[in-house]
Amino acid sequence: MTEYLIRRILQSVLVLFLITLVTFALIHAAPGGPAQIFLSPNMSQEAAKVQMHNLGLDKPVYIQYIRWIGDLLQGDLGYTFKNHIPVGDILWPTVKNTIVLMSAAWFLAMLIAIPWGIYNSTAEYGLSDQTASIISYIGFAMPTFWFGIILQEIFALKLDWLPLSDMWTMGKEGQPSDLLLHLVLPVTVLTLGFLAAYVKYSRSSMLEVLHQDYIRTARAKGVQERRVVFRHALRNALIPIITILGLDLPMLVAGAALTENVFNWPGMGRLFVNMALAREYSVLMAITLIVAVMVIIGNLIADLLYALVDPRVQLGRKGGRAA
């Protein structure tokens, strides 16, 4: 087990290294490169050179990369090109805000979707099942940001029940009740997105298990139907669901770009889009790194949970999935 963990972590470090290398190379290979954004055409050659030198952009790319990695290892994410603000200062608060938003939506979706999907698998094509199926059809086909805009128009503008956007009302920063009110609409939008997939998934996972031979054996043993579902089938059905949940973990930091933009939520997704539009590569690199770390952790958690619920899987023997 420890040996497995150590091996996985070493693997992950290697993968992270590769990801930073690829991203760095891409950014510097792009037409114009990072220099493009702050060099205006009417800037003098001399001034440009000085700027490039100050930012270290006149060095060969590999030197730049080594310097960036060196700084990173000391916890320094670099500075923005435009205003020369430390990246960490603007990044970390947004990460926190995103996690608040996403975990609320994610837990809510799980709490609703898994029991609902399980119930639907026992009452196929019933009213509840049909409702869920309509919801997932719409959830898969509807642009989430549009749903957000419509909710804003109805509940914030027309009815004036909920705040239109942002995380806090001016002057009420830090009040939990204010945060809750601001959470309602974006969480609704995000939950619907997760819900569509999770209900469908847990239903089909459960249905597959319910058609297995060992369920018939349990019934032949005289086990009551409720116990068949909740004891014999549920644990088997949870195995793939848990894996999916683990793999979705990176969504907690990266999945809210659209919703955060609609609701002006000061999260990482919105920061990412703004920085992408402004081509602030140092911030983009930092966020890419965070997402990559989340992907790796998500994979690891999925594997660990998988081994925990399924006795057929033994961690030591299985060559871990690379992230």
Binding letters toward another protein, positions 228-247, x by CB under 8 A? ----x--xx--x-------x
Q: Is 305 in the site for another protein (CB under 8 A)?
A: no
Task: Tell me whether residue 153 or residue 173 sits nearer to another protein (CB atom).
Answer: 153
Q: Is 146 in the site for another protein (CB under 8 A)?
A: yes
Q: Is 82 in the site for another protein (CB under 8 A)?
A: no
Q: Is 7 in the site for another protein (CB under 8 A)?
A: no
Q: DSSP string spanning 162-213?
A: S--SSSS-TT-TT-HHHHHHHHHHHHHHHHHHHHHHHHHHHHHHHHHHHTSH
Task: Tell me whether residue 137 or residue 230 sits nearer to another protein (CB atom).
Answer: 137
Q: Which stretch binds another protein (CB under 8 A): 48-56, 166-174, 194-202, 287-295?
A: 287-295
- Which of 300, 322, 277 is closest to 1 using CA atoms? 300
Least distance to another protein, CB of residue 154, Å? 9
Q: Are 41 and 32 in contact (CB under 8 A)?
A: no
Q: Is 103 in the site for another protein (CB under 8 A)?
A: no
- Which of 105, 119, 129, 132 is closest to 196 using CA atoms? 132
Which residue in 12, 94, 120, 299 binds another protein (CB under 8 A)?
A: 299
Residues 6+ apart with CB under 8 A from 296: 12, 15, 16, 323
Measured distance CA(46)–CA(304) in Å, rounded: 56
Least distance to another protein, CB of residue 133, Å? 11
Task: Tell me whether residue 77 or residue 275 sits nearer to another protein (CB atom).
Answer: 275
Per DSSP, the three-state class of 143 is: coil
- Reading the block at residue 14, the tokens are 């290697």
Task: Tell me whether residue 118 or residue 323 sits nearer to another protein (CB atom).
Answer: 323
